[in-house]
Amino acid sequence: MLDLTAAAEVDGKKFDGVDLFAALPHVDIDSTKDDLAHLAEGIASRGLLVGSLVAPVWPPTGGGSAMGSEEERSSFLAQVKKACAMGKTLRELGIRKYGVIRIDSATSTSEWAKDPVANTKKIAATFCEAAKIAENYGERLAAEGEICWGGMHGWTHMIELLELVGRPQTVGFQADMAHSLLYTLGYNSPESRLLPENFDWSQQDVLMDALRKLTDALRPWTIDFHVAQNDGTVHGSGSHDKTGRHCPANDPNGKMDIVKVAGLWMRNEDGKPTRAYEHICWDGCMFPNAVMMSPDTWNDVLRTLLAVRDAHGWIENR
């Protein structure tokens, strides 16, 4: 994957770096400093940096529910600590100059729904403890708004949780365009639906109004941003029940004007770039291996990211 990413080139420009998934078979959360030094050497040799890290907070990867038992919440926090330590080590190695640690509630919407008020409070309490850990390592935590995670499955629930945590300098929001599109459709959270059922996707002005409403609410919390595309459907398997179906950058079934929608996240209501994060990235999760291994995929992604970056002031205002 690194070789494909490093090889991609559009108009003489290449990718700056990669985000890391801190769980096997990707990057082992229990990597030693020597392991990470070897990893950093390999990434640097390809002209790349490391940005954000995904903390493996879920039970199958050694974590536990953020609203679970004391033992489960302890496992959640242990994985956050390991990810923060990894992030710090990569900074010390000089390969990581920006980025956050990505987390979620690691619990299903059905479990959360058994007692919404109490469970949201438990998640918030766990996130507060995680914030203390992150601060000790000089890190920030970004909760990804993905509709499969309890207490984060609707945009109104996400805001409620962030406000309850109340640590905006340390705990913020990771916006992913594929996931946030589904916020407007009310999957798993019909009470926060912004678009009507059987929505006519040709009504792009209506879609933009809905997206503007949720981005205006979530943008002040946003500290990490994934450019992405979605075809308006969901993908579900295991713990990721009904979650965003990411599409290739040029997918003909994509519902969003990527550059235009990205601007809702990257610019304030007055149109000025927020500069709230140091890098933007493309989330390629859920792509088939054949798509991931195609050089054309990464050239298309890079072309899209450059268009987004250039359109929204991430160059001129540096």
Q: What distance in Å separates the CA atoms of residue 199 and residue 183, rounded to the nearest whole number?
A: 14
DSSP code of 89?
A: H
Q: Is residue 317 part of a domain?
A: no
Which of these, 315, 222, 304, lies nearest to 260 by C-alpha position? 304
Mean pLDDT of 159-175: 98
- Geometric angle at alpha carbon 41, from 142 and 290, rounded to 5°: 65
What's the gap between Cα 280 and its chain centre? 10
What pLDDT score does 245 carry? 73
Q: Does residue 300 register a pLDDT over 90?
A: yes
What pLDDT score does 292 carry? 87
Q: Give the Å distances, CA to CA, from 215 to 185, 199, 283.
A: 14, 19, 19
Mean pLDDT of 137-154: 96
The gap between the terminal CA atoms of the chain, to the nearest Å, is: 29
CB neighbour class for 78 (10 Å; exposed up to 12, middle 13-18, buried from 19): middle
Q: Is residue 24 part of a domain?
A: yes
Q: What distance in Å separates the CA atoms of residue 262 and residue 228, rounded to the nearest whole number?
A: 9
What pLDDT score does 133 carry? 98
Q: Does residue 317 register a pLDDT over 50?
A: no
Could you tell me where the beta strands, DSSP code E, fall in the chain? 17-21, 49-54, 101-103, 141-144, 171-176, 222-227, 229-237, 240-247, 280-282
The model's pLDDT over 80-106, given as tens digits with 9 standing for 90+, comes to 999 999 999 999 999 999 999 999 999
Enclosing domain of residue 95: 2-311
In total, how many domains does the chain have? 1
Residue entry with tokens 């994957």: 1
CB contact at 8 A, 83 and 133: no
Q: Is residue 183 part of a domain?
A: yes
Q: Is residue 79 part of a domain?
A: yes
Query: DSSP assignment of 194-208, as one string?
Result: -S-TT--TT-HHHHH
Element spanning 156, H or E:
helix 155-165
> 175 or 243, which is more confident?
175
- CATH at residue 118: 3.20.20.150
171 — pLDDT class (breaks 50, 70, 90): very high
Q: What is the mean pLDDT of the chain?
A: 93
Q: What distance in Å separates the CA atoms of residue 17 and residue 28, rounded to the nearest whole number?
A: 19
**Pick from 4-18, 148-162, 231-245: least confident:** 231-245
What pLDDT score does 316 carry? 43
CB neighbour class for 160 (10 Å; exposed up to 12, middle 13-18, buried from 19): middle
What pLDDT score does 241 carry? 62
DSSP code of 269?
A: T
Q: Is residue 199 part of a domain?
A: yes
Q: Is residue 195 part of a domain?
A: yes
Q: Is residue 318 part of a domain?
A: no
Q: For the whole model, what pTM was predicted?
A: 0.95
> 242 or 170, which is more confident?
170
Q: Is residue 316 part of a domain?
A: no
Give the whole-number percent of the chain exceeding pLDDT 70. 95
